[in-house]
Structure 1
Amino acid sequence: MGKRQSIAFESNQANAHDTPSASHSSTERSPQSLPNETSAKTPWTIEDSEELYRIKGWGEPYFSINAAGHVTVSPKGDRGGSLDLYELVNALKLRNVGLPLLIRFSDILEDRIERLNACFAKAIARYSYAGSYRGVFPVKCNQQRHLIEDLVRFGKPHQFGLEAGSKPELLIALATLDTPGALLICNGYKDREYIETAMLARRLGHTPIIVLEQFEEVDLVIEASRKLQVEPILGVRAKLSAKGIGRWGTSAGDRAKFGLTIPEILQSVEKLRDAKMLNALQLLHFHVGSQISAISVIKDAIREASQIYVELSKLGANMQYLDVGGGLGVDYDGSKTNFYASKNYSMQNYANDVVAQVRDICHEREVPVPTLVSESGRAIASHQSVLVFDVLGTSDVITDNPPPPEDKTPLVIRNLHETYQSITVENYQEAYHDATQFKEEAVSMFGFGYLSLTDRATAERLYWSCCHKILSIARQQEYVPDDLEDLEKIMASIYYVNLSVFQSAPDSWAIDQLFPIMPIHRLDEEPTHRATLADLTCDSDGKIHQFIDLRDVKSVLELHPLRQQESSSPATHEPYYLAMFLNGAYQEIMGNLHNLFGDTNAVHIKLSPKGYQIEHVVKGDTMTEVLGYVQYDSEDLIENIRRRSEQALQEKQITLQESQLLLQNYERSLSRYTYLS
């Protein structure tokens, strides 16, 4: 995975605008460290859970743990008011809103907008910046109607606008954005209709800025302006030489997907000059990638972009805006490092560097400073959404205490038993190699017919018992040898969860994105099981086996054993709820219908003087709806089953009662949630 580097956050005594000098300390991956088991003499506390799940690192100021061992949500951050997430989920279930359940906290969305604007306001005041800040939200991060409507409403005091990256998103923005003076940044591929629609939006009072991302768009803009007699506001997206970082590092550079090279920008300027439209060019845009983990990358890009901005101004363009794009990261693992799932800077550091870098270069070149624009979608939308899901069951490795072998027991099994009995702190590594060798011998002997199926089962149970004993010793060591570093994962339980990774966390599957995952209750108890998560899909990739950790990434998640429900059958256990946090950007719209698991239930929660209010309930897809997406008609399906049932009745293959039960279950299922109840 890459190493992390830490950096101290800015203090009030920091000089000038530079990000505080880095206190670099790389995390070396010397022999793999396995989590220590808590001594039985030390009772587990919520502080232990806070440290284990790193909730203070990634969750502040919105998420914490209360004295009851439940996750709490403070939607307004440090301004007061909190909810017990476990109690909220139970209350929603009583309202017939089942799991999996996406909970959106509108107050968190409002708080993120206010924090971003406050950081830029503070930086502008600190550096006596003569310009202003006007943020926009990129609609592509989360296009859900209620969220966009909330965002526009919360953004009005700040003249917060929207960014559209496609024609459908432009249509959303035009119909939703009603804030006077708010910017509408028009990015993405554009045809004549897109450009004409954006230009005509000026007649409605919008402030659309058409960003030229392909050289061919220059001619389309000139033709549309002459045809409509509308002078547009234009921007140009530059391909910077500054290098991006991480998964989206190729968003910048000469071969980036979008943007114009420096020669193309100069050609565009000349074309606009010849068309007497150079005055329309007012914005410079750049983007160095999403989730930038290192502040140095951002500083390099801003420095280069600022130089391009002043040069365009010198060439006669009516430059007014500098759009620094996205990239403001989210600290998914709470480590505050340059690890790809973290960031080594704060939101205030980011604003300071943007403001100060632009001011310095503009002052040096004697060019008026621009209005600053950013498209920080991930940093605004990620925190407001929490996905809660329940555990359906587990699969555990059998590690019982093996009985002593009998005289006629095959030698390989006796050797395994002797290995098990002799495992100590001094020889646990050697014992692991011996146990592995004996297990492989047993499998080979079974293949040649020298061991019975019962003997092979005994050998495998002995092997897993050896591994369990060895792992118990390894957890007590500060470091263990490299050849044992996978033992924790090998011995992990599998927790089956009521969820589709492909629908609700596609980035976890597609690009190994890390999201914080933890139980939302029982956090005053020690989680004694190590587990990976398996979803409902019949796909081997439908699993989560990478979890946040201070040191790189861990392959198992510490969870509690399931408890049997009182006065019920042995197969029934008490509900056990897990939650995935910081997944409010991109996941919903990028989810797919693998195995026809559809959208989850979603609710919008807002704090109120009496606790909270449910603003919206958006029911998840029913089976009829997802079948309709793939061109099946539910009435036709029911009729086909009815005909087959009648045929089976005539052939005496099914009773009338059975056929009616089948039809009832079939029809009932079509109207129900695609997930398990």
Structure 2
Amino acid sequence: MNIRYRDLIDQTYHFPQEEFALVDDSLSFHDIPLMELAKKYGSPLKFAYLPKISANIQRAKKWFADAMGKLDYQGNYYYSYCTKSSHFQHVLHEALKNDIHIETSSAFDINIVELLRQRGKIKDDTYVICNGFKRAQYIDNIARLINNGHENCIPIIDNYEEIELLADEITDPFKIGIRIASEEEPKFEFYTSRLGIGYKSIVPFYEEQIKNNDKVELKMLHFFINTGIRDNAYYWNELLKCLKVYVRLKKVCPTLDSLNIGGGFPTKNSLAFEFDYAYMVYEIINQIKMACDEAEVPVPHIFTEFGSFTVGESGGAIYKVLYQKQQNDREKWNMIDSSFITTLPDSWAINKRFIMLPINRWNDEYERVLLGGLTCDSDDYYNSEQHMNAIYLPKFKRDKELYIGFFNIGAYQETIGGFGGLQHCLIPHPKYLLIDRDEEGNLTTTLFKEQQSAGQMLKILGYQQEVDQSAETNRKEVLEA
């Protein structure tokens, strides 16, 4: 009778997989012995496996190179990283090893770009694509970057005022792009994206504000939809509408030579995940080429802005199951030593699915459970809605520790969760570990951040003066004793 957890996985999925394997009855991730991490650093623990960032960038570059080669596509491909997915220095340093470009979304992004430029991580020919609604500080920072000589900074125009605002601050002629306000999927609460300029308005906008403006040069049309790149009728329909705008605009704007198709490659969220990336890339390039050939205009250079795809699959978290609560005849709650709301905010905010697996005890019997976080909030849980299937884990036993891992969590969770700041119910943010490989391929680990302390949170909350006074009083008492 197959009653072990490993039997359940073997019956349900193809296992082991590229990144997951078993060593005895414990899980490894990219050959990282996760139980050793848990024992050495304790839990809760978050980590970033940096080589996965470079691996995914190189995968995407190969898909585009292969597709362009097969189709004899006469344009270049530029991989850009969407910084809002994770702004950490170690992420940018790893990504920029791969000859990529940067997409920004707010004013402080430019400060990061300037630091990276000073340190030689961003070169003079690196494209900096500036998206987002731009107000005073963002405009000032973009202008400073361009005025200081970074000519490949391309602000993407999001509304009708931005060209004038930028022109007032930028000294010399500069390049721009225009973002298309795509129509949202029918199930959305609104019809058209709040970002960009409507399909029908783009050519008139060019004629009125750009065509006779000697200070600006239109180089790029930007297209992105919230649902990301999916093989469905909605995506292909929106892409074809974008291509119609591109060819119309290209016929009246000779300087236009680039099409930015945004981001939106999915990340693996289940052991059953399947997505034919190579097919999607080939078909996108094919559709672009066919539209341009039919209209008798040159094909554009292609830009992408992959964020989650770049960094998402590099991240993981390890939690310990502290206790099991039997709340009724059917529901068993395994309580973890952290909070889903603070450490995996997308799991409760948008029911985002992540890969969840036990770290140890794969040879033990399993049971169906729910997972609960430490906060006194009814939304602090992870269940079958997020997980795609019912959650099964090795049976809880007081005398046998059980650790669980969440994987491919590297995008957005730290910034949305407020890394290093206040946390819901003052549950501290976990330790954060960086995992890399040296030149010989050996694993290296660096503790990037200790778990938050009470003092750090009290300082944010304005109690620091009282904390300092209390510490000074305790020090005096110790000295007097």
- Say yes or no: TM over 0.5: yes
Shift of residue 291, structure 1, vs aligned partner: 4.5
> Match of 2:77, SS?
coil
For residues 329-383 of structure 1, the C-alpha deviation after alignment (integer angstroms, 9 at most, x for no partner) is 22413445xxxxxxx6422122112211111111111211111011111111111
Deviation at 1:204, TM superposition (A): 3.6
1:236 to 178, 188, 209: 178
Q: Give the AA of the match of 1:239.
A: A
In structure 1, the partner of 2:417 is: 591
For 1:605, the equivalent position in structure 2 comes to: 435
Q: 2: distance between equivalents of 1:611 and 1:255? A: 49
Match of 2:280 among 347, 350, 358: 350
Matching residue within 169, 173, 195 for 2:113 = 173
Equivalent position of 2:373 in the other structure:
535
Per the alignment, residue 301 of structure 1 pairs with 238
The amino acid that maps onto 1:208 is C
Alignment root-mean-square deviation, CA: 2.7
Cα displacement (A) at 1:392: 0.9
Q: Distance in 1 between matches of 2:346 and 2:5?
A: 33
1:376-395 to structure 2, matched below 5 A, reads: 376-395=306-325
**Residues 94-114 of structure 1: CA distance to partner in whole angstroms, max 9, x if unpaired?**
xxx331111110111111111
**How high is the TM-score relative to the length of structure 2?**
0.89
Q: How does 1:110-259 map to 2 (within 5 A)?
A: 110-153=54-97, 155-156=98-99, 160-176=100-116, 177-202=121-146, 203-205=148-150, 207-225=152-170, 228=171, 230-241=172-183, 243-244=184-185, 255-259=192-196
Measure, in 1, the Cα distance between the counterparts of 2:83 and 2:215. Answer: 29
What residue identity is the alignment partner of 2:9? S
Identity of aligned residues (%): 21
The alignment status of 1:581 with 2:407, answered yes or no, reads yes
Counterpart CA distance in 1 for 2:225 and 2:27 is 35
Alpha-carbon displacement from aligned partner over 1:236-272 (angstroms, at most 9, x marks no partner): 001234x4377xx57xx85311110135423431212
Instruction: Report the Cα distance in structure 1 between the residues aligned to 2:291 and 2:107, rounded to whole angstroms.
Output: 35
- Over 3 Å counting, the alpha-carbon distance change for 1:66 and 1:510 in structure 2 is same
Write out aligned runs for 1:326-405 (5 A): 326-336=263-273, 345-396=275-326
Secondary structure at the counterpart of residue 395 of structure 1 = strand
Per-residue deviation, 1:510: 1.1
The alpha-carbon deviation at position 313 of structure 1 amounts to 1.2
CA 1:634–1:86: 2 relative to 1, 3 Å: farther
Q: CA deviation at 1:130?
A: 0.5
Q: Distance in 1 between matches of 2:445 and 2:240?
A: 45
2:28 to 50, 72, 78: 72
TM-score (norm 1): 0.64
Contact in 1 for aligned 2:351/2:386 (Cα 8 Å): no
Kindly state the Cα deviation for residue 574 of structure 1 after the two structures are TM-superposed.
3.3
**Tell me, what secondary structure is at the counterpart of 1:374?**
strand
CA distance in 1, matches of 2:102, 2:123: 10
Does the aligned pair in 1 maintain the 2:64–2:77 contact within 8 Å? yes
SS of alignment partner, residue 197 of structure 2: coil
Distance 1:598 1:136 in 2: 33
Unaligned stretches of 5+ in structure 1? 1-40, 75-81, 337-343, 399-463, 465-490, 565-572, 644-658, 661-677
What is the distance in 2 between the residues matched to 1:240 and 1:138?
19
Residue 346 of structure 2 is matched in structure 1 by 507
Once residues 130 and 320 of structure 1 are traced to their aligned partners in structure 2, the CA distance between those partners, rounded to angstroms, is 12
CA shift at 1:207, angstroms? 1.4
Counterpart in the other structure of 1:268: 205
CA distance in 2, matches of 1:367, 1:624: 62
Closer/same/farther in 2, CA of residues 597 and 206 from structure 1, 3 Å limit: farther
Moved more, 310-319 or 631-640: 631-640
Q: Any conservation in 1 of the 2:365–2:395 contact (CA below 8 Å)?
A: no
* Partner SS, residue 361 of structure 1: helix
> Aligned with 1:558: secondary structure?
strand
Q: How many residue pairs are counted as aligned between the two chains?
A: 465
Asked whether 1:558 is paired with 2:392, we answer: yes
CA contact (8 A) 2:262 2:303 kept: yes
Residues 45 and 578 of structure 1: CA distance in aligned 2, closer, same or farther (over 3 Å):
closer
Match of 1:516 among 329, 348, 355: 355
Tell me the CA shift for residue 181 of structure 1.
Answer: 2.3
Deviation at 1:538, TM superposition (A): 1.4
3-state SS in 1 of match to 2:434: strand
For 2:403, give the aligned amino acid.
Y
1:323 corresponds to? 260
**SS of alignment partner, residue 181 of structure 2:** coil
Residues of 1 paired with 2:33 and 2:470: CA distance? 47
Which amino acid in 1 is paired with 2:411?
A
Inter-partner Cα distance in structure 1 for 2:88 and 2:181: 30
Compare CA radii of gyration and give the structure with the larger one: 1
Counterparts in 2 of 1:245 and 1:558: CA distance versus 1, 3 Å: farther
Cα separation, 1, equivalents of 2:261 and 2:305: 7
Q: 8 Å contact 1:105–1:604 — kept in the other structure?
A: yes
Conserved? CA contact 1:514–1:548, under 8 Å = yes
Aligned to 1:61: 18
Instruction: Give the match's secondary structure for 2:259.
Output: strand
**In structure 2, C-alpha distance between the alignment counterparts of 1:191 and 1:518, rounded to whole Å:** 44
Q: 1:364 to 1:51 in 2, by over 3 A?
A: same
Which residue in the other structure is 1:618 paired with? 449
* Cα displacement string for residues 287-329 of structure 1 (whole angstroms, at most 9, x for unaligned residues): 1114454444332222221221111111124112101112212
What per-residue deviation string (whole Å, max 9, x for no partner) do you get for residues 585-643 of structure 1?
11111015101123321111113437311145322321111122221116447639979
**Aligned equivalents of 2:175, 2:140: Cα separation in 1:** 12
Task: Give the Cα–Cα distance (whole angstroms) in 1 for the partners of residues 446 and 467 of structure 2.
Answer: 37
Aligned residue identity for 1:596: L
Residues 123 and 610 (structure 1 numbering): CA distance in 2 closer, same or farther, change over 3 Å? closer
Alignment deviations for residues 531-559 of structure 1 (CA, whole Å, 9 cap, x no partner): 1111111112111123566xxx33x4111
Structure 2 residue identity aligned to 1:539? D
In structure 2, what residue type is equivalent to 1:146?
A: H
Aligned partners of 2:114, 2:280: CA distance in 1, in Å? 30
Distance 1:619 1:636, change over 3 A: closer
